């Protein structure tokens, strides 16, 4: 149950109208009209992971620090207590038609975001990928980070929850042994969105790109690009524009399955079904 009085107190004004809108698998979402003339977007949940909204707030601010691509402005956040669910209040981004150069600009702005390098792989705080915990313990070694903080935790969780059999887990032993060879040339950490599928970007009313719902950390930039190719929704113009602004290291095509493996394992743990077979297929390509 949302504490609407607290929302009003945080925003320093009254809510004159609230409208339910689509909010995804975890959250409820509201469009609020305020007495001071503003329109804001509110995400709420009653049973979401503890700390999810503060983590999303931190992620949006972290992306915005790069000054590379637009994100919603964080107005208020509350983690919830005493029977009241938490909420995250953001500036409302009015959607619009994509500009004629939208895809080109998106590629350029993603390149600029990735060039804004954090000091290490990971992040100072942990966060979430969907409703799953995402361990961001910082590391200077990308191969070690990708195995210990991304691949192995998802494989272990899938086995513990009965999503996969023991043979699935054992198949990943071979990946651990060759990961440092498959990981690609060394690069500095990139500022990643972390969950960049077609549902997590949009066009504002001026036709410019906006990123939403991040799962941020410092990582290899090919992670974002591989996920963009995983479920579709991005034109080749986006990738071409990115490559012109920030060329990828040779052999990037061969590493796409490696960097698609993490989000597919996340989907194994969130949804089960055929994603286990998809993870096995990716593993065969990598090895």
Annotated catalytic residue 10: no
Between CA 14 and CA 195 the distance in angstroms is 34
Catalytic residue among 10, 101, 139, 195: 195
Q: Which residue from 184, 226, 203 is spatially nearest to 109, judged by alpha carbons?
A: 203
Between CA 228 and CA 239 the distance in angstroms is 9
Which two three-digit tokens encode residue 105? 């600009």
| The residue count for the chain | 287
160 Cβ contact list (under 8 Å, min separation 6) = none
Q: Which strands sit side by side in the sheet containing 28-34, from one edge to the other? A: 15-21, 28-34, 39-45, 86-91, 74-78
DSSP-derived secondary structure for 229-276: HHS----HHHHHHHHHHSPPPTTHHHHHHHHHHHHHHHHHHHH-TTHH
Residues belonging to the active site: 195
């Amino acid at each position: 149950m949302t504490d609407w009085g607290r929302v009003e107190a945080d925003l320093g004004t009254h809510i004159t109208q609230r409208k339910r809108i689509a909010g995804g698998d975890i959250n409820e979402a509201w469009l609020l009209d305020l007495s001071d003339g503003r329109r804001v977007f509110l995400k709420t949940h009653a049973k979401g992971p503890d700390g999810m909204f503060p983590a999303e707030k931190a992620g949006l601010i972290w992306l915005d620090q790069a000054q590379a691509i637009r994100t919603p402005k964080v107005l208020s956040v509350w983690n919830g207590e005493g029977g009241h669910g938490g909420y995250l209040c953001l500036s409302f981004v009015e959607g619009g038609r994509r500009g004629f150069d939208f895809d080109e600009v998106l590629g350029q702005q993603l390149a600029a975001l990735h060039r804004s390098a954090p000091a290490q792989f990971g992040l100072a705080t942990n966060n979430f990928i969907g409703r799953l915990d995402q361990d961001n313990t910082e590391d200077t070694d990308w191969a070690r980070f990708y195995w210990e903080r991304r691949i192995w935790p998802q494989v272990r969780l899938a086995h513990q929850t009965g999503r996969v059999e023991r043979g699935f887990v054992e198949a990943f032993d071979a990946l651990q042994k060759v990961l440092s060879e498959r990981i690609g040339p060394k690069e500095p950490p990139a500022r990643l969105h972390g969950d960049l599928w077609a549902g997590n970007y949009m066009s504002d009313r001026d036709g410019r790109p906006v990123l939403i719902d991040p799962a941020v950390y410092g990582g290899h930039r090919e992670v974002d690009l591989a996920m963009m190719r995983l479920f579709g929704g991005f034109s080749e113009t986006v990738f071409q524009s990115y490559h012109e602004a920030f060329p990828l290291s040779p052999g990037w095509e061969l590493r796409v399955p490696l960097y698609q493996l993490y989000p597919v394992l996340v989907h194994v743990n969130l949804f089960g079904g055929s994603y286990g077979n998809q993870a096995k297929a990716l593993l065969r390509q990598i090895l």
